[in-house]
Structure 1
Amino acid sequence: MGALRTTLLSWTTALLLAATLAPAHAESSITIPDDPCSSEQPSPALHRAISLSPHLTELIYAAGAGHYIVATVSSSDYPEPAKTIARIGDGITLHPERLLHYQPDSILAWLPGSTLNALQPTLTRLDIALLYSKPLRLRDIPQEIRRLGWLFNTRDIACPVAQQLDDRLDALAQRAPTDNTPVSIYLELGHDPIYTIGNDPLIHDVLATCHAQNSYAHSMVAAPQVLPEELLRRNPDVVILSQSSPLTQQERLHYGQQHQLPAALDNRVYGISPDLLYRPGPRLIDATEQLCGYVDRVRADRHAAAQHGKSPAKP
């Protein structure tokens, strides 16, 4: 759990820094067009990329350019072909000589770090593009795919994929809630100790898409620790666990029931893989659809209770 928390803390910190695929410096030789799918601006046609984040690996594959990744980090495990790519570490500790060994024409990273900052002059001299990707909204994900399609000259694949994701987001946005009472979500990241996601823009956008809200949205800590009595006081409608193991899910459900947590007593404890929910790649839209389904169940139960003259669980 310690490794997961470290990853999530780094992730939420990165999301507060900046958004979308962008050059490391304004003077970069690569300027990505605002509308990559219709732009006539010539593509740099990159073909030897190093991906320093699992979400970027997923985005590059979605853009039809996975075969151009020459090296990546140990946590890049999706899609299946990504497991065969050469590894260069964990993405946090980087060795410049290993990066340059693969003779990349581009390095795509999640957030700046001391190694990449120090390496920038060398990369500029060698004409190696350094770009960062930090989606802050769900809509940034298909747009990143479009930009990657332009960078790697795979727009014929990337643009239709991005449009399909946008269409799915449109469908989610058009789902009107049956009532205006908020549905509160508690996202459990770990249980020894118990901690959750605090004020995070991307998770906020995911929940807003589902007409829901984070029980700990007002916390200024990226991953605040949670006390059982505080969770009872907040009384979330739904509990989302950061894994989908049936055994662990049952254990956490039983724990919540022991503490008389209404969401657990009503069997509203669900598991979503952290690789889907906490990686800002295409699969986050899968997780959003899944989460919206759980929110819809709450609203359906409220509607059924109202139809039968029963008081809903929350005012």
Structure 2
Amino acid sequence: MPTGSRVRGSGFRVRTGLAVGLMLALALSAATEPAGAQPPRVIALAPHLAELAFAAGAGDALVGTVAWSDYPAEAAELPLIGDAFRLDLERVLGLDPDLALAWEGGTPAAAAERLEELGIEVAWIRIGRLEEIGSALVEIGRRLGRPDRGQQAAKDYRSALAERPEPAEADLPTFYQVSERPLYTLGGRHILTEVLRRCGARNIFADLDVEASAVDYEAVLARQPAVIVAGTEPGGDDPLQRWRRDRDHLPDDLSLIAVEPDTLIRPTPRIIDGIDLLCRLLP
């Protein structure tokens, strides 16, 4: 009997040790669980960043965004914290975010530094080319706790982009008008330059090493565009009225096209729709 008692006691100690080990393992697993299991509270510092968060399946992590964040509809319902260049820090603090999505090349460095001083992590998102929209979807999905959905969104986008390759030649001289007064256009750094190339067109101000710039009316004419594309808002004034008024002094074959700008110039998956529309409208 004593020997059997010792055997049973040993088994009990083994089972107890295994149970304790399992509990410790579970505790360590919980302590080291990826932050993605509980999405951070996030603010988007540009309209396209809010749209990308929703496209990556992580819109529910957003607690605030900036003016003109109007797509999808859920983005327009989020609290506003300012615009792409000026933030209301009191509103930001009231939302208690722990992560801010910043626009590399657009968000002022001083604004990002102030957020970091307040203990808010800043994630810079760079999109300079169409292919980088896919990378942004992956990164945002990862940072906001939806890695699988971000990767799937990127895969879908890249597949759609691959179906729309650049033609061998892109030589249709095209002027893109952001605004009439002052007369603003987009330069070589802006993704629109690549969008135009997908449709066989050439940005006549692609040599400007900037995202956007004011230009002179005479400078536009000197570059002899065959097409003028102007962004327009529903219910707004005709953005091409000056060109139409001066039609007698312009080439007879100059094409004037007005388009809704968001799908053309916002670096999000919807830019595929913008490419398709522009390619249909260009002569």
Per the shorter chain, which TM-score range?
0.7 to 0.9
In structure 1, distance between residues paired with 2:252 and 2:220 = 11
253-262 or 105-114, which deviates more: 253-262
1:188 aligns with 2:177: yes
Among 247, 251, 257, which residue is 1:257 paired with?
A: 247
Q: What CA deviation, in whole Å up to 9, does each residue of 1:1-52 have, x standing for no partner?
A: xxxxxxxxxxxxxxxxxxxxxxxxxxxxxxxxxxxxxxxx945343311111
CA distance in 1, matches of 2:262, 2:176: 14
SS at match of 1:248: coil
The partner residue of 1:133 within 119, 125, 129 is 125
The verdict on how the C-alpha distance between 1:248 and 1:67 changes in structure 2, with shifts beyond 3 A counting, is: same
Q: Could you tell me whether the CA contact under 8 Å between 2:40 and 2:61 is conserved in 1?
A: yes
| Aligned with residue 154 of structure 1, among 146, 153, 156 | 146
In 2: Cα distance, 1:256 partner to 1:294 partner: 22
Calculate the aligned-residue CA RMSD, in Å: 2.6
Structure 1 residue runs of 4 or more that deviate by more than 6 Å after TM superposition: none
**Equivalent residue, structure 2, for 1:271:** 258
Larger of the two Rg values belongs to structure: 2
Tell me: CA distance 1:292–1:165, structure 2 relative to 1, closer, same or farther (3 Å). Answer: same
**Which residue number in structure 2 is paired with residue 94 of structure 1?**
87
Aligned 1:96-245 pairs, distance under 5 A: 96-110=89-103, 111-123=107-119, 128-173=120-165, 176=167, 180=169, 182-220=171-209, 222-228=212-218, 230-243=219-232
Aligned match of 1:72: 65
Relative to 1, partners in 2 of residues 1:119 and 1:129: Cα closer, same or farther, differing over 3 Å? closer
State the partner residue of 1:284.
271
Letter in 1 for 2:143: L
TM-score w.r.t. structure 1 length? 0.69
Relative contact order higher in (CA < 8 Å, ≥ 6 apart): 1
Is contact 1:196-1:226 (8 Å) kept?
A: no
Report the AA paired with residue 226 of structure 1.
Answer: D
Whether contact under 8 Å (1:96, 1:115) holds in the other structure is no
What SS does structure 2 have at the residue aligned with 1:94? coil
Using a 3 Å threshold, how does the CA distance of structure 1 residues 260 and 119 change in structure 2: closer, same or farther?
closer
1:248 equivalent to 2:238? Answer yes
Residue identity matched to 2:216: V
Identical aligned pairs, as a percentage? 30
8 Å CA contact retained: 2:195, 2:264: no
* Contact map agreement 1:276 1:284 (CA 8 A) in 2: yes
Measure the CA separation in 2 of the matches of 1:232 and 1:91.
Answer: 32
Kept after mapping to 1: 8 A contact 2:172/2:202: yes
C-alpha contact 1:197 1:216 (8 A) present in aligned 2: yes
Normalized against structure 2, the TM-score is what? 0.76
Q: For residues 91 and 233 of structure 2, what CA distance do their matches in structure 1 show?
A: 36
Q: Residue type matched to 1:115 in 2?
A: A
